[in-house]
Structure 1
Amino acid sequence: MTGTRQLDRMDAVRDLVRANGRRWTVAKGAVVEALLGTDEHLSVQQVHEQIGARFPQIDRSTVHRVLLGLAEEDVVHVLGRQGEARYGMADRPHHHAVCARCGREAEIPAKVIAPALKSAAAATGFTFTAGSITLTGLCESCSAGTG
């Protein structure tokens, strides 16, 4: 991602946090920057390791609290993987596929799932809210027996 696009996303996230009546702190900025810098979903430990060199004053428990707060505000979403929560940015609509065997994760663009949600709503009478769907299955490698 280009630096300008990442800064634009950071600004939008900061504005959202403030619009929710929350403070924007150095720790929040560092955590969001770490998550914006990757397409992966990161554990608390991975986020802490990424920000540690630049922000040694931010300890692991602070990273954990920041991530939980950002998840409550729907700024990040949480994926559970083999007992370890992993966090990713929720500022762009998407869903997830997770391999039940190896834990590999892949993002699914929201527009791919939208027709299925529309059909599910018609069939059930439910109105589905924005959020992230996690589909579990086997990745290509595990399906082929090479994973």
Structure 2
Amino acid sequence: MVGARQLDRLSAVRDQVRAAGRRWTVAKGAVVEALLATDEHLSVQQAHDQVSARFPQIDRSTVHRILLALADEHVVHILGRQGEARYGMADLPHHHAICSHCGNEAEIPAAAIAPALASATAATGFTFDSSSVTLTGLCEKCTAA
């Protein structure tokens, strides 16, 4: 079950999808609810596990197609992690750091990256439309090892 804040986010996402001329289905709503219920990024299997607990008729391939469609609609972003894509909500701006050795992930507040994006815009003339920047490197634990 989602809380009041998640219901507001769910409603905003539903409106965004419909405004783009896309259908809002029970399955799509269940996938978004699964993502809203966690602070983590979910793999297709993890999302399917959560969705199928409530809706056993929704198969894994449907969840995968929905996640890809939601990524195309900029509702979710895709985070690669050692060959397994993970999906997270894109409605609250944030960025990611991923350890290239162990796969550890950390979220970076959008405000921490904003000056670098502004500098990149000034240097290139590009207007960046990405809702997420992913930086790779070594986490503190792997650096110490």
Instruction: Say whether the fold is shared (TM-score over 0.5).
Output: yes
User: 2:41 is paired with a residue of what secondary structure?
Assistant: coil
Distance (whole Å) between structure 2 residues aligned to residue 43 and residue 103 of structure 1: 14
Partner of 1:98: 98
Equivalences for residues 73-84 of structure 1 within 5 A: 73-84=73-84
Displacement after TM superposition at 1:51 (Å): 1.6
CA distance in 2, matches of 1:104, 1:86: 13
Q: How far has the Cα of 1:144 moved from its partner?
A: 1.7
1:41 is displaced (CA, Å) by 0.8
Rounded to whole Å, the distance in 2 between the matches of 1:129 and 1:54 is 35
CA separation in 1, counterparts of 2:119 and 2:70?
A: 31
Which residue does 1:32 correspond to in 2? 32
Q: TM-score, normalised by structure 1?
A: 0.93
TM-score, length-scaled by structure 2: 0.94
CA apart distance, 1:132: 1.1
Give the aligned partner of residue 50 of structure 2: 50
**Corresponding letter in the other structure for 1:16:** Q
Residue 111 of structure 1 pairs with residue 107 of structure 2: no
* Residue 140 of structure 1, CA deviation: 1.5
**Matching residue's letter, 2:11:** D
Secondary structure, counterpart of 1:122 in structure 2: helix
- In the alignment, structure 1 segments of 5+ residues that lack a partner are none
Alignment partner, residue 131 of structure 2 = 131
The equivalent residue for 2:64 is 64
The answer on 1:13 being equivalent to 2:7 is no
Count of residues paired in the alignment: 144
Runs of 4+ off more than 3 Å: none
SS in 1 for 2:54: coil
Unmatched runs of 5 consecutive residues or more in structure 2: none
CA offset digits 1:69-105 (Å, max 9, x no partner): 0000000000111111110000111111111011111
1:29, distance to aligned residue in structure 2 (A): 0.6
Q: Which residue of 1 aligns with 2:41?
A: 41
Distance 1:114 1:27 in 2: 35
CA RMSD of aligned residues (A): 1.2
Structure 2 counterpart of 1:85: 85
